[in-house]
Amino acid sequence: MKHKIFFLCLNFLAIVSYGQVTLVPVLEGEDFKVNQRFNLTYVLEIKGKNYIQDTPLQLPDFSKFNMIGTASDQITYGDPKKNFIINQIIYQVVLEPKQSGTLKIGSARVIVNGEIYRTEPFDIYISPVEKTAVAATKPMDDIYLNLEIEDRSVYKNQPTIAVLKAYSKNLNNFRKVKNIQLPKQNNLNFKTVSNRKSEIETEGNLSSQVIAVYMIFPKESGTVAVKSVSAMVNHLSSENRIKSNRVNLSVKNLPKDAPESFENAVGNFEVQLINRSEGKAEMDKPINVTVKLSGEGNLGNITLPAINKSDDYVIYPSKIVNNVKTGKTAMKGEVLANYIIVPKKQGPIIISTEDFSFFDPSEKKYVSIPPQTIEISAFTHEQILDDQTTIEKVNNYTNTVLETVNSPVIHTSNLKVQEKAGINWNAVLLNIAVFFGVVLLGFLFRRHQRKQKALLLQKASMKAKSTGSVADREKEIRNQQKVELVDYYIYLKKQLENRDWEGFFRTFEEMNLEVTKSFSAENESEFRNILEKERGPKITEDYRNLIQRIQIERFAPIHLEENIIEIYGQIVELYPHISK
């Protein structure tokens, strides 16, 4: 029904609007009550190729409402024969009145081609809540999920960050959310970044919490709808399932001039071909060769360049090893394809990979990597034996015996003699030194244990004789728990210089946890209450704003260095007032 009303409004606008730029509000519903949600939609229509939107849509002041959530969509259509384009942007806000009476909704505005366009302000009447008998409310009526994707315009196979948030008026509902289920879709993939819940943020009488962060990889171009993410909410003996909103992604087509070697790699990558076998290569004996793909992008979904087939060697199927972790904007790390190759001829052999290409979204172009090659020289068994000295032949025989009769108690394979190795007196002396070192460490450890035991007995005796007051003891504990902030500042600054954003936020989290423990607070809410009593409301408000800004910046798809620098300055300025 809502969709029908929506499209009727659009058709009405298309008929009555004669100007090139139209901005109107559409209010859904007639009877509005306190704490009852309603939708307010703004429709912006821009006609013509020469009209450029200079600023985003600026909403009016909604301080008398709780802003529950927002959503937006964009529709562009045109007629090549008549040479015109119409761009429609639909922005919807879910509001909840805080008070009854007549409330004014001000003007929304936008700047197009340097000219300001506004909506007319209007009044709505909010009825008070009718007093009825108190009924049991299901958690699903008081908590809902919202899937927020900031970067909705990406290329095919380019990842984008999605943040799943829960909203509720009742703080107890957040701990009841469990068993998150991702939608099964053939046109995109989900990759979990974090299932760790963030601190609960409260604004007005509505609280929110980040309960999961995902990375989404669209597998087709066009408008891709991300279906609802669901979760279970426990309520006494029953369970209810709640669902998030649906989000549309605008997936851009990749350029058409793709090289033949391009398959699905989007990001920035490097390819290496590595010979991992030591010593000389022997005919009909296996050697280990690895194809290494490293970089940042849609790793894990990429088809690696294979090793070219040849009559000079036999290739066995590869074993894939993933050393990939999830970053803030993409998957990063390396993927290894380990091959076993058996030379079939004597002499020089060239091993090469296939061509590999990827699309770099930052440069908006394809990048081709030429085939990687290594050259090995294969020898016959007789040539290798003729080239060995007598001591090397004895070493080879010894190694063969040790490999064959390896003991589960003493791993004799570790005693293998390396090629061209004689008696290594340095190794012998080092082993003797290690033996005596172990004996000495064992003696010192036993001595340290005896001293620690005696010291504990002495402390227990002194504690029994202590006559200090409870307040003195608490002061002593507080002094022992004092956090050394300077050390954390040094680490934060170092990670800032290295542009290690993930390490920066992790170090701050450790510092904040230590400061919280120093106040003997068990959780964030208790710490804020203690902070307000001991440091005052201003410090507490600055602390809350800082934590909120860090949470927003931490899960942002792109980190700006100037924002992190500002956060670092706020940390250095605020925390001495908190911990001193």
pLDDT recorded at residue 291: 93
533/8: higher pLDDT: 533
Confidence tier at 254 by pLDDT (50, 70, 90): confident
Q: Which fold would CATH assign to domain 262-383?
A: Immunoglobulin-like (2.60.40)
544 CB-contact burial (10 Å; exposed 0-12 / middle 13-18 / buried 19+) = middle
pLDDT band for position 273 (cuts 50, 70, 90):
very high
Q: What is the pLDDT of residue 471?
A: 47
Helix (H, G, I), strand (E, B) or coil at 167: strand
Residues 6+ apart with CB under 8 A from 45: 13, 14, 17, 21, 22, 23, 86, 87, 88, 89
Per-residue pLDDT at 391 exceeds 70: no
Q: Which of 70-79, 89-98, 193-202 has the lowest mean pLDDT?
A: 70-79
In this prediction, residue 40 carries a pLDDT of 86
How far, in Å, CA of 321 to CA of 335, rounded?
6
| Residue 81: both structure tokens together | 């024969």
Per-residue pLDDT at 235? 67
| Range 487-516 average pLDDT | 86
pLDDT at position 70, please? 78
Least confident of 31-45, 403-417, 535-549: 403-417
Q: What pLDDT is attached to residue 76?
A: 74
Q: What is the pLDDT of residue 82?
A: 60
Is pLDDT above 50 for 421?
A: no
How far is the C-alpha of 52 from the C-alpha of 278, rounded, in Å?
Answer: 63
- Tell me the average pLDDT of the chain: 78
- pTM of this structure: 0.44
For residue 96, what pLDDT band results from cuts at 50, 70 and 90?
A: confident
The length of the chain in residues reads 580
% residues pLDDT > 70 (the chain): 79
Q: Tell me which residue has tokens 């309960």.
A: 211
Cα gap 523→528, rounded to integer Å: 9
The Cα 410–Cα 256 span in angstroms is 62
| 3-12, 216-225, 317-326, 562-571, range with the lowest pLDDT | 3-12
Residue 137 pLDDT = 39
- Express each pLDDT in 164-221 by its tens digit: 999 988 887 888 888 888 988 888 888 888 888 888 888 777 888 898 888 888 888 8
317-331, 338-352, 402-416, 553-567: the lowest-pLDDT one = 402-416
Question: How does pLDDT run across 344-366, given as a tens digit for each residue?
Answer: 988 899 999 999 999 998 888 99
pLDDT at 132: 38
C-alpha count within 13 angstroms, C-beta hemisphere, residue 89: 14
Q: Which tens digit of pLDDT belongs to each residue from 274-322?
A: 998 887 888 888 999 999 999 888 887 788 899 999 999 999 888 888 8
| Closest-CA residue to 267 (of 150, 153, 154) | 154
User: Is a pLDDT exceeding 60 seen at residue 128?
Assistant: yes
| CB 215 within 8 Å of CB 239 | no
Interatomic CA distance for residues 357 and 258, integer angstroms: 9
The CATH architecture assigned to 136-253 reads Sandwich (2.60)
Structure tokens at 105: 């909704």
Neighbour-count burial for 390-412, b at 16+ CB within 10 Å, e otherwise: eebeebbeebeebeeeeeeeeeb
| First-to-final CA distance of the chain | 59
Q: Which is more confident, 80 or 149?
A: 149
What is the structure's pLDDT at 477? Answer: 43
Rounded CA gap, 377 and 170, in Å? Answer: 72
Q: Is the pLDDT of residue 492 over 60?
A: yes
Q: How far apart are CA 35 and CA 22, in angstroms?
A: 31
pLDDT at 149 over 50: yes
Higher pLDDT, 62 or 239: 62
H or E element: which one contains 27? strand 21-27
More confident residue, 30 or 532: 532
The position carrying tokens 């529709």 is 75
- Whether the CB-CB separation of 365 and 270 falls below 8 Å is answered with no
SS3 assignment for 421-478: CCCCHHHHHHHHHHHHHHHHHHHHHHHHHHHHHHHHHHHHHHHHHCCCCHHHHHHHHH
- Whether 68 shows a pLDDT value over 90: the answer reads no
CATH class of the domain comprising 1-133? mainly beta
Are 298 and 190 contacting, i.e. CB atoms less than 8 angstroms apart? no
- Pairing status of strand 356-360 against strand 262-275: parallel
Question: How many Å is the Cα radius of gyration of the chain?
Answer: 34
The dihedral sign for the CA sequence 185, 191, 193, 195:
positive
More reliable by pLDDT, 422 or 190:
190
Lateral strand order in the sheet of 247-252: 153-155, 247-252, 222-226
Which range is least confidently modeled, 91-105, 162-176, 346-360, 438-452?
438-452
How many CB atoms lie under 10 A from the CB of residue 199? Answer: 16
Which residue bears the tokens 């302000």? Answer: 121
Distance CA 128, CA 100 (A): 5
Comparing CA positions, the residue from 152, 155, 167, 144 lying closest to residue 247 is 152
The pLDDT assigned to 131 comes to: 47
Residues 6+ positions from 410 with CB-CB distance below 8 Å: none
How many other CB atoms are found less than 10 A from the CB of residue 239?
A: 14
